Amino acid sequence: MKIFGLVVESYGKYVKVKTSDGEYIIKSGKKAPKEGAKIELKDFGVGDYVAKVLAKKPYNFRELPSVRFVQVAEELVEGLDFSSKERLIVAIALFLEEISKRREIDRSILQRLKRALRKLQTADAAQQSMEKKESDSDRQELENFLNYLNILSGKYGLIINEGIVFLDRETGTFEVFLKDNRIYGVTQQNSLSSSVTLYFEKIPENVTELEKRLRNNFNVVSIKLEAMRDGTYV
């Protein structure tokens, strides 16, 4: 790969670049180039600016968030262990950006969202014991907060339970981020039937049980290993 691009947004370590074949979000430890700068993207040789590609439009996502929200999302998941973590960061950034169209993303929102994410992965047994003592009112307050964010988040949704589920309400797709796996799901529904197709990074041991549960809600359930061809799941 060797293409030239124009920096359309720059914030912290992140840069959004527009090229002839789409847009990229890239990250580098070096000082980011300014908006309007022309840079060369290549996956071979050496250069003055070495960066890692986090996401690409249209292949990874149908749209990319402002890199300002990517920086915020990275801080929210810092220290957490998830499969496809970089993709998760971009997904959370899309969720936050959609909320920002309806209200300010202030420190209080970020602190409470970070608290919800931290509950997914407990550091040790002592912390687990403390969380069991948490009052029902505290748990309900956190649940109400997440419901509130999902009302504001428009075309995207974020469910935090045993994993993190990112919803694209417009396309009927979703992604489940787990510690050691990622699931991409496509739902289709009409007046006669409904179906769901799940693409796994690796097939879990309990996949048969999962398939049975899904058949309670969908007429057709398909389970596949994830594969990409020209940006399309196959």
Q: Give residue 140's identity as a one-letter amino acid code.
A: Q
Q: Are 196 and 190 in contact (CB under 8 A)?
A: no
What are the residues facing 2 on neighbouring strands? Answer: 42
One-letter amino acid of 95:
F
Query: Mean pLDDT, consecutive 10-residue segments, the chain of 234 residues?
Result: 86 92 88 87 68 86 96 95 92 98 96 90 51 70 93 95 92 92 92 92 87 90 73 47
| Amino acid found at 85 | K
Question: Is the N-terminal amide bond of 58 cis, ω within 30° of 0?
Answer: yes
**E-strand stretches of the chain:** 2-11, 14-19, 22-27, 38-42, 52-57, 156-160, 164-168, 173-177, 182-189, 194-200, 220-225, 228-229, 232-233
> Which pLDDT does position 59 carry in this prediction?
79
E strand or H helix at 144, and its extent? Answer: helix 136-152
Q: Output the pLDDT for position 51.
A: 78
Sign (positive or negative) of CA dihedral 95, 97, 101, 106: positive
Residue 32's pLDDT is 80
Annotated domain spans of the chain: 1-64, 65-154, 181-233
What is the pLDDT at residue 1? 64
Instruction: Specify the 3-state DSSP secondary structure of 84.
Output: coil
CA contacts within 13 A on the Cβ side of 74: 14
Q: What per-residue confidence (pLDDT) applies to 30?
A: 78
Cα–Cα nearest to 68, from 88, 36, 103, 97: 97
Alpha-carbon distance 40 to 49, whole Å? 9
Structure tokens at 164: 């993190």
